[in-house]
Amino acid sequence: MDVFPDFGAVGGASELKSIVGALLTFVLIIAVLMMIISGVTWALASANGNFHTATRARLGLLVGCGAAALAGAGVGWVNFLLNVGSTL
């Protein structure tokens, strides 16, 4: 059996790929900005003794790191599945 999705059959496949690429870029940019802002906030809050804000900033840093990792891993996972699908 040679079953593989025909992306050429979709009329807007190239536009869809460019939209997904643009959305991924926005997600990565926002995640990096979130990590920078949360890291600076965490450092300033810890230095000034505001531990509640430091805890919230640390959580923001972890969420930003997780979002960047999931966005990057999502691309790798989809490429892996497409490569496996072509060999089935």
Specify the amino acid at residue 30.
I
**pLDDT at res. 6:** 64
**3 in Cβ contact with 88 (< 8 Å):** yes
* Cα distance between residue 5 and residue 80, in whole Å: 14
**pLDDT at res. 10:** 57
**Ranges of the chain with pLDDT below 50:** none
**pLDDT at res. 73:** 85
The pTM of this model reads: 0.72
Locate 42 and state its tokens: 């965490």
**pLDDT at res. 22:** 82
**pLDDT at res. 72:** 84
Residue located via tokens 């870029």: 25
* Cα distance between residue 74 and residue 31, in whole Å: 15
